[in-house]
Structure 1
Amino acid sequence: MPTVAVAGAGIAGFAAAAALARRGFDVRIYERSQEPREFGAGIYLKENSLPVFDALGVGERIAERGVRIRAARIVDETETIIVNRDLGQERLLVALRADVHNLLREAAVEAGAELVTGRTVTGADPEGVLRLADGEEVRADLVIGADGVHSPVRDSLGLLRVRGMFGDGATRVVIPRTEADGPYSTEYWSGQHRVGVAPCAEDQTYVFIIGPESEERVGRLPLDREYWTEQFPHLKHVFDRVGDDVGVHHTHPYVECTSWTAGRVAVIGDAAHAQPPNFGQGAGVAIAAAWRMADILADASDITEGLTEWERQVRPGIDMVQRLTSIYDVAGYAWPAELAPVRASIFHDMSLHPAISPHWEYWWRGGVEVPQQEESAR
């Protein structure tokens, strides 16, 4: 039975562990904290990642806990809906990030993966060695670095090309859901500021609040309700529901690697392709890539060759998602406020263009087509 050592017990790490364990690999996950948990409030799951949850046997459970979104909308500074995507033929689920993390953990453990906590990873070796802070070297047929933006695994192998931050950041919170919070994902624009609202559970709504990091009040915690109400007076009812004890704020990251693999080692998730969250695909593409890795390696006669083939297949699509969500990000915080009507017109026209719109939506879904109606209705 091939052995696997995974660095990091986040969403990407548990997804990889679950997928590989179900394929017969002997998997151990090494995590520095004593009790792994996820920060970030809510999460979007789309047609590239939801089939993985189905295949792992937890699709129904995440569907029960999350909310299926029926339309995705953008509202401009004049409170006009400029983009309105009907999602009746495809699945978009918004859920609590903690629920997604816990279900992937359960799927990994149920498949036979072992979680080892309180162990800090310091690096890796291409021959299949995971190095720990206490000096121990864990040897495995496959090593996976799912250890985040500042990945020690990636950096120890010299795989990093670019690691940086965009000029904006997001505060993410969960607030009490009201009857007015219908099954819609709505992003509101106001100059260089954006607010997204989407229900994520029966009684909870996910809110992401984005603005330029150059403005000190943007990243304040607790949330500066006065500041944000000045930007979005019509969303005062949303900001009033944000508690003083909730929320996390992060600057939008970017990671690009020379390669995602080195010998028997692969990096995945933010360690490989951290990106701004505008497409809701940071976790989604990692989950889909983890499943594809397990598919390829289960049939590969050589781990190193299998990893090379995996990167060849999955990287071009993820690179495109990363590129487009980055363009969207810059259009959000760097667009001159006085030209906001031009931006609204461009996005409105793009959403209706017969050539541009399907292409954009394809990558918004993570690089997959709309499934057949009977599949998306499940």
Structure 2
Amino acid sequence: MNERILISGASIAGLTLAHWLARHGFRPTVIERAAALRDGGNGVDVREHAVEVVERMGVMSRIRRRATDVHGMKFVDADDRAVARIDIRNPDTVEIMRGDLVALLREVTDVDYLFGDSIRTMEQDDDGVTVTFEHAHARRFDLVVGADGLHSHVRRLTFGPEDEFLRFEDHYFAFADAEASLGEDRWVTMFNTPGRMAGIYRSGNHAQAKAYFMFRSPRLEYDHRDIAEHKRLVRERFAGGRAWRTAQLLDSALADPEFYFDALAQVRMPTWWAGRVALVGDAAWCASPASGAGAELALIGAYRLAGELAAAGGDHRVAFARYETVHRPLVDKRQRIGPNVRLMIPRTTGGRRVRDAVARVPLTKAVGAVERLLRNRNAASLPDYSRPAETPSRSSPGSTAAEPIRCAAHTRGC
């Protein structure tokens, strides 16, 4: 039932979903706009229940071998003197570069792929979804899942314009390859001026460093696919800076053809599915990079979505509703990002001094350790969907009828 499933997006959520769907006997196809897997990106955390997911996929040992080995964050003044350090090492969390994680997920995900193509239209009916593509011939699928990120095309086609669901967090960020000699090995070095941050990320296990830029701003109008325009916006905010190593870092980053820029934003949706179309990952709930939870939510959410489809025998109405019910509490929690942005981008010189003073207090690390202990103590294991559970038939006494198919205003048919 509903075996043929199209997944739009070959990143963490899309590949994890494809892997587990195939394991459960479905026939997923992954479509990706890029000509190949995107190997860029910053460091991402595999933590808490996400560790269970990758262990069950058989890639945790390889993730540990390719971990970034970053010790913490270092805040510096204009003369490159360290004014505060925060040790972020956590034995329960493994940080890995996004591109490395995607490559590992691809190694264990043997499904059909369509690279260099994208969805043009989708039309739902009682029996499936007719999908047309930019290049390939039209095909029929039983279900479609959008795992295509913050600017999801599937979300736009199914639910409406992204402005209805994106919550702008008053900042923009960029990252790109950078000259490694500009930063300290195994540390994320950050330099602040009011409302701005320039930084460099140096992994202990990677020769290539990453430059980071973030700035506070009202909403800007720009094409999210125009890299030249992205570089111009960042250059305007940081060009002319003579303090620290900002100028050298900017020159290094602007030379990277894979320069990445976007708004710091969250996706807030009342529901993640409509009829035969569902969303997963940033397309459904982006918590923003400031949360540090993107990979965690993507791995767990994709695992749950595939598992609920298997548990429901492919009945998307039951599975989609259940997936949303069980995963939304974690999403809601991770979208409360707290003081992270204020920590990285103090609005004033006084705010920066307060941040530096707090960061120097040894209690900071102790508080983090206590929080991790409490989370681990209260956390229940993820369900093992490979073990069949007895489910009552819809006609049996006490059973719950499936919810009716829901369709968004922008969806043609159900």
Give 1:79's match in structure 2, choosing from 79, 82, 86: 82
- Matching residue of 2:30: 29
CA shift in 2, pair 1:303/1:243, >3 Å: closer
- Matching residue of 1:152: 153
- Matching residue of 1:10: 11
CA shift in 2, pair 1:119/1:197, >3 Å: closer
Inter-partner Cα distance in structure 1 for 2:378 and 2:182: 30
1:336 and 2:322 equivalent? no
Inter-partner Cα distance in structure 1 for 2:99 and 2:253: 18
Give 1:92's match in structure 2, choosing from 91, 94, 100: 94
**Cα RMSD (Å):** 4.0
Structure 2 unaligned blocks of 5 or more:
221-228, 380-414
Deviation at 1:323, TM superposition (A): 2.4
Matches within 5 A, 1:297-312: 297-301=309-313, 302-312=315-325
1:233 and 2:232 equivalent? no
Deviation at 1:344, TM superposition (A): 4.0
Higher strand share: 1
CA shift in 2, pair 1:303/1:226, >3 Å: closer
- Matching residue of 1:172: 175
Inter-partner Cα distance in structure 1 for 2:377 and 2:271: 27
Give 1:198's match in structure 2, choosing from 188, 195, 202: 202
Deviation at 1:74, TM superposition (A): 4.9
Which amino acid in 2 is paired with 1:208?
Y
CA shift in 2, pair 1:61/1:200, >3 Å: same
Deviation at 1:233, TM superposition (A): 0.9
Taking only the aligned residue pairs, the percentage that are identical comes to: 21
Tell whether the 8 Å contact from 1:350 to 1:356 is kept in structure 2 after alignment.
Answer: no
Inter-partner Cα distance in structure 2 for 1:199 and 1:228: 26
Deviates more, 1:13-22 or 1:201-210: 201-210
- Whose Rg is larger? 2
Question: Deviation string for 1:37-57 (max 9, x for gaps)?
Answer: 327532323214344333323
Inter-partner Cα distance in structure 2 for 1:300 and 1:234: 56
Question: Deviation string for 1:345-368 (max 9, x for gaps)?
Answer: 566679639768744x689xxx76
Tell whether the 8 Å contact from 1:43 to 1:280 is kept in structure 2 after alignment.
Answer: no
Inter-partner Cα distance in structure 2 for 1:54 and 1:296: 19
Give 1:254's match in structure 2, choosing from 266, 270, 281: 266
Inter-partner Cα distance in structure 2 for 1:172 and 1:369: 36
CA shift in 2, pair 1:248/1:293, >3 Å: same
CA shift in 2, pair 1:46/1:186, >3 Å: farther
Question: Deviation string for 1:155-175 (max 9, x for gaps)?
Answer: 333377522433322221223
Inter-partner Cα distance in structure 2 for 1:179 and 1:340: 22
Deviation at 1:295, TM superposition (A): 2.8
Structure 1 unaligned blocks of 5 or more:
372-378
TM-score scaled to structure 1, two decimals? Answer: 0.76
